[in-house]
Amino acid sequence: MEHFYTIQGEGVHTGQAAYFIRLAGCDVGCWWCDVKESWDETKHPRIATEELVRAAAGSGAAFAVITGGEPLLHDLSSLCTGLHEAGLRIHLETSGSSPLSGDIDWVTLSPKRFKEPLDEAFPLADELKVVVLTRKDLIYAEKNAEKCPSHTRKMLQPEWDTPESIPLIVEYVKKNPEWTISLQTHKFLNVP
Ligand code: SF4
């Protein structure tokens, strides 16, 4: 859908420069999704893997973030091989609802109840990032965290248009400090 050099706004690597590769296509269907224009893959041009790798490598970024849409609707093997050969680390943002492909260095698993993660996704999660709108999502977060390894970083992220979730999250993290808060800081910075 698009690729660009920016600042990672969310999660453990917040604030770090990263080359974003946003792949089109998503079959998860979150009603609050902020990139609905990514859902229909046919509305976006095909771009050669080599071109993406060249752009990412030329940017000066230390790592690339493959995101979507749901990027695991695509076979990521050749893209990952190219990015690694160019010396970039590879981060992936996924709902985990399709089989993993490619050699990924950091997996952000962001489970969605609209299409649940596959069991095979949980052991791969370096970071679990759950979007929170209501108290029910905190229960959902714990349910998913139970399936993750002990080293997985656990993060709760308020849904941008649901600021009433913020006090819920703050109170929850104070009581459960193994969780931390992820904010969409790129929106505050006004960068893509
Ligand atoms: S998985 Fe991501 S891209 Fe797909 S609908 Fe949900 S928020 Fe949007």
Instruction: State the pTM of this model.
Output: 0.97
- Give pLDDT, residue 102: 98
Hey, whose CA ends up nearest to atom 8 of ligand 1? 33
d(CA 48, CA 125): 28
Coil, strand, or helix at residue 173?
helix
pLDDT digits (tens, 9 = 90+) for 172-185: 999 999 999 999 99
Top CATH class of 2-189 equals alpha beta
Q: Which residues line ligand 1 (CB under 6 A)?
A: 26, 28-30, 33, 35, 38, 68-70, 95, 112
Whole-number Å distance, alpha carbon 45 to ligand 1 midpoint, is: 19
Helix ranges (H only) for the chain are 49-59, 77-85, 135-145, 165-175, 185-189
- Give pLDDT, residue 50: 97
Name the residue of 112, 140, 160 to mutate for ligand 1: max ligand atoms within 8 A of Cβ: 112
- Give pLDDT, residue 175: 98
Hey, whose CA ends up nearest to atom 7 of ligand 1? 33
Write out the E strands in 105-184. Answer: 106-109, 127-132, 153-158, 179-181
Q: Which residues of the chain have pLDDT under 50?
A: none
Strand partners, 91: 65, 106
Name the residue of 95, 97, 137 to mutate for ligand 1: max ligand atoms within 8 A of Cβ: 95
- Give pLDDT, residue 1: 97
Whole-number Å distance, alpha carbon 186 to ligand 1 midpoint, is: 17
pLDDT digits (tens, 9 = 90+) for 97-126: 999 999 999 999 999 999 999 999 999 999
Whole-number Å distance, alpha carbon 156 to ligand 1 midpoint, is: 16
Whether cis (ω within 30° of 0) applies to the bond prior to 102 is: no
Give the residue carrying structure tokens 């041009």.
45
What are the two backbone dihedrals, phi and then psi, of residue 92, each rounded to the nearest 5 degrees?
Answer: -125, 135
d(CA 23, CA 63): 16
Task: Report, in this order, helix, strand and coil percent for the chain, each rounded to 5.
Answer: 30, 25, 45
- Give pLDDT, residue 2: 97
